[in-house]
């Protein structure tokens, strides 16, 4: 993959995390303000939504405006389309309608302004599936299909659910797109203190066992993400210190706060960001000529 300048290829990996993922918008604000390029992206779940919108040409300002609009309860309720509890609490049709505001339903990965890959998990085989072909909106529905809340997405013999189950921070995926420098934004919670009573009305109907499953899945994802960070070693790791009571489902009304935390942490990481992007300078004193 080539970029238009002479800088190394910069990839951005965005983790899942529901409402916590709005912090990625703050990170993008800093990258844009500092003129730090993004040449390719990978994301999971909410990180996948933001990555896809950015790759499709949606500006950071537009992303922030939409996030603040979604902070209003009446806008959140519009996403709720109850489904008889067989495959998921929600049918996902209204989510598709919402996503189409960022990504045209006919848009394919080939049509994007920037290379993009999303992650999902096949419930049948247990394998991680990389999504980088076909309609983008179908891939988004798959990477967001949190078990018990949204139904799995059937695709090419796979039964796809939320990519965060196995790879919530796809650093390795964006490297496979050609990234030489990876900036990773991780909002995976360290603990789960989300109050079900603060969730959108329909999600309050989740039986206790589903909330327990959600907590268990989140804690497992945290452990796997820590391992992957050690293995994948992103050049710059940004971890916005979001309060533990900012949850995946219930905290969209706190969008302003969440975005601000992401922006502050990205600002704090600026020395690392600029250092990672500096071309290596070879000292002439270290070069031996003619065996001297």
pLDDT digits (tens, 9 = 90+) for 215-254: 667 777 777 778 888 888 999 999 999 998 887 777 888 9
User: What CATH number is given to the structural domain containing 248?
Assistant: 3.40.1090.10
Any domain includes 156 = yes
CB contact burial 193-211 (16+ within 10 A = b; e otherwise): ebebeebbebbeebeeebb
Whether the per-residue pLDDT at 173 is higher than 80: the answer is yes
287 domain-assigned: no
Q: CA triplet 188, 251, 140: central angle to 5 degrees? A: 60
Q: How many domains does the chain have?
A: 1
State the pLDDT at residue 282: 41
Is residue 38 in a domain? yes
The whole-model pTM stands at 0.86
Q: What is the CA radius of gyration of the chain?
A: 19
Q: 259 with 23: CB under 8 angstroms?
A: yes
Among 94-98, 101-105, 283-287, the range with the most confident prediction by mean pLDDT is 101-105
From the CB of residue 128, how many other CB atoms can be counted at a distance below 10 Å? 17
**45 in active site:** yes
Check residues 54 and 74 and name the one with the higher pLDDT: 54
| Marked catalytic residue, from 15, 44, 122, 162 | 162
The catalytically annotated residue of 44, 45, 250, 251 is 45
Tokens linked to 83: 């489904």
User: Where is pLDDT greater, at 32 or 202?
Assistant: 32
Angle of helix 60-70 relative to helix 23-33, nearest 10 degrees?
Answer: 160
- Is the model more confident about 182 or about 212? 182
Structure token pair of residue 232: 């994948």
- % of residues, the chain, pLDDT over 90: 57
Structure tokens at 141: 């529905």
């Amino acid at each position: 993959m080539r970029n238009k300048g002479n800088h190394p290829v910069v990839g951005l990996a965005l983790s899942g995390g529901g409402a916590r993922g709005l912090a990625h918008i703050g990170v993008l604000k800093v990258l844009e303000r500092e003129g730090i390029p993004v040449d390719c992206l990978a994301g999971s779940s909410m990180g996948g939504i933001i990555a896809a919108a950015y790759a499709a040409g949606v500006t950071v300002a537009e992303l922030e405006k939409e996030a603040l609009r979604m902070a209003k309860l009446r806008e959140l309720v519009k996403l709720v389309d109850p489904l008889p509890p067989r495959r998921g609490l929600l049918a996902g049709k209204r989510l598709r309608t919402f996503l189409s505001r960022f990504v045209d339903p006919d848009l394919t990965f080939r049509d994007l302004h920037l290379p993009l890959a999303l992650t999902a998990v096949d419930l049948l085989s247990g394998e991680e599936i990389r999504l980088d072909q076909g309609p983008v909106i179908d891939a988004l529905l798959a990477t967001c299909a949190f078990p018990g809340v949204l139904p799995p997405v059937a695709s090419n013999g796979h039964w796809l659910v939320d990519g965060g189950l196995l790879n919530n921070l796809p650093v390795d995926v964006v490297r496979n797109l050609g990234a030489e420098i990876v900036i990773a934004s991780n909002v995976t919670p360290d603990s789960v203190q989300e109050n079900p009573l603060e969730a959108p009305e329909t999600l309050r109907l989740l039986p206790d066992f589903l909330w327990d499953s959600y907590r268990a899945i989140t804690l497992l994802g945290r452990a796997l993400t820590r391992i992957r960070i050690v293995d994948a070693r992103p050049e710059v790791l940004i971890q916005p210190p979001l309060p533990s009571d900012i949850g995946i489902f219930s905290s969209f009304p706190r969008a302003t706060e969440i975005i601000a935390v992401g922006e502050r942490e990205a600002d704090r990481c600026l020395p690392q960001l600029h250092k990672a992007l500096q071309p290596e300078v070879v000292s002439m004193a270290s070069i031996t000529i003619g065996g001297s």
